[in-house]
């Protein structure tokens, strides 16, 4: 049976009608199909996020990219936190407790970073570009880049292990020390020079519950 992977969705407002919509890039559906897995988009309203993982019989979760998060350091949810922020904090707690494999992409990694005690810094020059990252064991890899928030290495949460940093020293990839969670600032679902590495890392995460080491 194909693995069932849940995907959170960004919230967008239609410019023509003002209608608020959940949205998921087709890139993700294509990526998971190529991996031989079933995509399960998760709506932002109408369901208890804590029950979704069991009701949908999910084998893994992807916290996708999108709009900036309002989550504060330590996972605090301010008054202006979106329903997406609230849902994803709940889902993160559930997956960490239940040891459900979780992939956090761009905004998703930033949310994880903040929730576990890290800090962010606004950045420039990281959107719609390609740059080099230095991996563990001193290997290097070119990756795509679409983020405007940077992860400060000196504030890395103790529960996370840094897997990659950019040329300025900002964190680009992490793994949880005690749970099957992998987070990257780049986008595996989009075209980029890191695609072979991505598929290897993500296959290991979802099929074996392992992270790069």
Please tell me what DSSP assigns to residue 193. Answer: T
Q: Can you read off the two tokens belonging to residue 46?
A: 């109408």
213 belongs to a structural domain: no
96-126 b/e with 16+ CB inside 10 Å = b?
Answer: beeebbbbbbbbbbbbbbbbbebebeebeeb
**pLDDT at residue 1 in the model:** 67
Res. 125: pLDDT tops 80: no
168 belongs to a structural domain: yes
- Tell me how far apart the alpha carbons of residues 118 and 98 are, in angstroms, rounded to a whole number: 22
Asked whether 198 and 185 are in contact (CB, 8 A), the reply is no
Please tell me what DSSP assigns to residue 98. Answer: H
131 belongs to a structural domain: yes
- Overall pTM surpassing 0.85 (yes/no): yes
Average pLDDT over residues 133-144: 91
197 belongs to a structural domain: yes
Res. 157: pLDDT tops 80: yes
Q: Following DSSP, what letter does each residue of 6-75 receive, concatenated?
A: EEE-EEEE-TTT--EEEE--HHHHHHHHHHT-EEEEE-SSSS-HHHHHHHTT-SEEEE---SPP-PPTTS
66 belongs to a structural domain: yes
Among the listed ranges 50-54, 58-62, 99-103, which one has the minimum average pLDDT value? Answer: 50-54
Q: Dmax over Cα atoms in the chain, in whole Å? A: 51
Res. 213: pLDDT tops 90: no
Number of domains in the chain: 1
The backbone torsions φ and ψ at residue 57, rounded to the nearest 5 degrees and listed phi first, read 50, 50
Mean residue pLDDT across the chain = 93
Provide the strand spans (E) within 120-212: 120-122, 127-135, 140-146, 149-151, 160-166, 171-176, 181-184
Q: Where in the sequence is the domain holding 152, given as residue range(s)? A: 4-208
Residue 175, helix vs strand vs coil: strand
* Mode of pairing for the β-strands spanning 120-122 and 149-151: antiparallel
Q: Report the CATH number at residue 129.
A: 3.40.50.880
171 belongs to a structural domain: yes
Percent of the chain with pLDDT over 90: 83
């Amino acid at each position: 049976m194909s693995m069932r992977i849940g995907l959170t969705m960004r919230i967008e407002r239609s410019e023509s009608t003002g209608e608020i919509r959940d949205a998921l890039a087709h890139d993700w559906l294509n990526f998971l199909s190529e991996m031989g897995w079933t995509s399960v988009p998760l709506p932002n309203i109408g369901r208890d996020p804590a029950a979704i993982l069991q009701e949908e019989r999910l084998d893994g979760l992807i916290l996708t990219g999108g709009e900036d998060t309002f989550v504060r350091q330590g996972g605090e949810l301010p008054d202006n936190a979106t329903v997406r922020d609230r849902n994803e904090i709940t889902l993160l707690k559930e997956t960490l407790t239940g040891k459900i494999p979780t992939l956090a992409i761009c905004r998703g990694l930033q949310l994880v970073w903040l929730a576990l005690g890290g800090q962010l810094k606004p950045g420039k020059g990281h959107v719609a570009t390609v740059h080099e990252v230095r991996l563990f064991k001193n290997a290097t890899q070119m990756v795509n880049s679409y983020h405007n928030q940077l992860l400060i290495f000196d504030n890395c949460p103790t529960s996370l292990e840094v897997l990659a940093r950019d040329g300025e020293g900002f964190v680009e990839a992490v793994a949880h020390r005690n749970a099957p969670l992998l987070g990257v600032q780049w986008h595996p679902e989009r075209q980029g020079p890191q695609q072979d590495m991505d598929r290897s890392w993500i296959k290991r995460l979802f099929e074996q519950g392992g992270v790069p080491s």
